[in-house]
Amino acid sequence: MVNALICKSKFFIFHFSVFTCFMPLVYQQNINAITKLGVWHIAEAEDFFVQIPLQKEITHWYKRLQHLAGRYLLQDLYPKFPLELIKIADTRKPFLANEKYHFSISHCGNYAAAIISEENRVGVDVEIVSAKAFLVKDKFLSSQEQLLITTTEANKACTLFWSVKESIYKWYGQGGLDFKKDIPIQFFTGKLDQGVVHCAFKNTLKLQVHYLFFNGNFFKDSYVLLSIVNPP
């Protein structure tokens, strides 16, 4: 373990660790006693996940591998997580009917991220920093939000803002959101590499999205990892 950090906010205290030895679980964060977050480096062949139920047909081999790795991570974080009971909503959100666990999964490249809470709705997103979000920024950022983008870090900022909104979309879980109108970003605190983005969800509920960029070791490119915690 090469890095450990204690972060404090109005809502929670969490501890995270980044591992440099060659192991699939490269990041783990215990947000509190009932909420865990992890990132899995996908380096295995598909037969490694032979015990993981594939609940839908996925023809593309790598998307299938991402799917299996995300569910494997759920049980790595919570060994008793009932994978066989996962259902898929019309909005494509995976869930448990009895809500014993609230969870969210994200995939990007050769990484899968998952967050699980025993009590509260959660959302997570992991992204690779690139010019992709910047090129389509007008589709999900208002002109006011775009004032928060610095010219020297435009790709990084746009990827961050996209990921913030994507994680809120997953936290909400009911679909039908307009990223520009329903999830306006107000401001962010901290540094560009780590901090909190403040949003006004549907202009009624204030949400805080904690974010962290990684660079180096397993994370050969810059990645952003975000999660929604208990809203006020």
Q: How far apart are the first and last CA of the chain?
A: 33
pLDDT of res. 153: 87
Q: What's the pTM value of the predicted model, to 2 decimals?
A: 0.85
Give the pLDDT mean for 30-36.
91
Which two structure tokens, joined as six digits, stand for 206? Answer: 């204030």
**Beta carbons of 118 and 101 less than 8 angstroms apart:** yes
Backbone angles phi, psi at 151, to 5 degrees: -65, -30
Residue numbers of the domain that contains 103 = 3-228
Number of independent structural domains in the chain? 1
pLDDT digits (tens, 9 = 90+) for 112-161: 999 999 999 999 999 988 899 999 999 999 999 999 998 788 998 999 99
Give the pLDDT mean for 31-45.
91
Which CATH number do you get for residue 51? 3.90.470.20
Residue type, 30: N
